[in-house]
Amino acid sequence: MTRRNHINHFTVAAACRANPGVWQPVGEYNSSQSAEGAVDYISSAYVKTSTQRSAYTPAGSFEARYELTEFGARVEARFVGTGNDLAWADALAGLPKAVAR
């Protein structure tokens, strides 16, 4: 059984927002089924409960895709929404330069 690395979706979303339209790596998943779930999670900004928040809000402002690899499937995402979200602009300003590029 392959151990899955933890993915910080808020960091991925921030990198996507910093580079609109550019595909950013999300992570590698053990199966295409898991990758499809991640793509749906990103595209729909899905949350399980009202107390959770999604890194990919508002729904539809991110696109995601996956491609099969030797070990499973690699997921990528990109920001396609508007850059008028002040909260995200503040979050981006606080990121280390290596992440925000």
pTM, to two decimals: 0.74
What is the per-residue pLDDT for 90? 56
Mean pLDDT computed over 15-37: 95
Cα–Cα distance, 75 to 48 (Å, whole number): 21
pLDDT band at 88 (very low <50, low <70, confident <90, very high): low
- The rounded distance, in Å, linking the Cα atoms of 5 and 1 is 13
| Chain mean position to CA 73 | 15
In a 10 Å sphere around its CB, with 0-12 CB exposed, 13-18 middle and 19+ buried, how is residue 19 labelled? middle
Question: Cα–Cα distance between 79 and 20 in angstroms, integer?
Answer: 5
